[in-house]
Amino acid sequence: MVDHLNGGVAQAYVNQKKLDTETKILQANAAHFSKQTVQWMKLVDDFNTALKELGDVENWARSIETDMRTISSALEYAYRKILISALVNDS
């Protein structure tokens, strides 16, 4: 009868040792996953920031392009006025 009880106790001990080992592995994996998740979140945040900066650069480029077109139109208009004035004065 004692052997039967000892066998059950021994099996419970073996199972407990396995559970302890598996728990340690799980804790290590969870810690690794946590670190990896933090790294991924930083990468996503950095990527998001870069996209916002690209959007700012795109808006800046559009603004410069609009300004340059306005300046170009003004110069063309002034050049035509000067050309017409010169032609009228020559006649």
Convert the pLDDT of each residue in 32-86 to its tens digit: 999 999 999 999 999 999 988 888 888 999 999 999 999 999 999 999 999 888 8
Spatial separation of the C-alpha atoms in residues 87 and 81, rounded to whole Å: 10
* Distances from the Cα of 42 to the Cα of 4, 29, 36, 73, angstroms: 57, 20, 10, 46
The per-residue pLDDT for 47 is: 93
Banded model confidence at residue 90, pLDDT cuts 50, 70, 90: confident
Nearest residue to 16 (alpha-carbon basis) of 30, 24, 2: 24
* pTM across the whole model: 0.54
Banded model confidence at residue 19, pLDDT cuts 50, 70, 90: very high
Maximum Cα–Cα distance for the chain, whole Å? 133
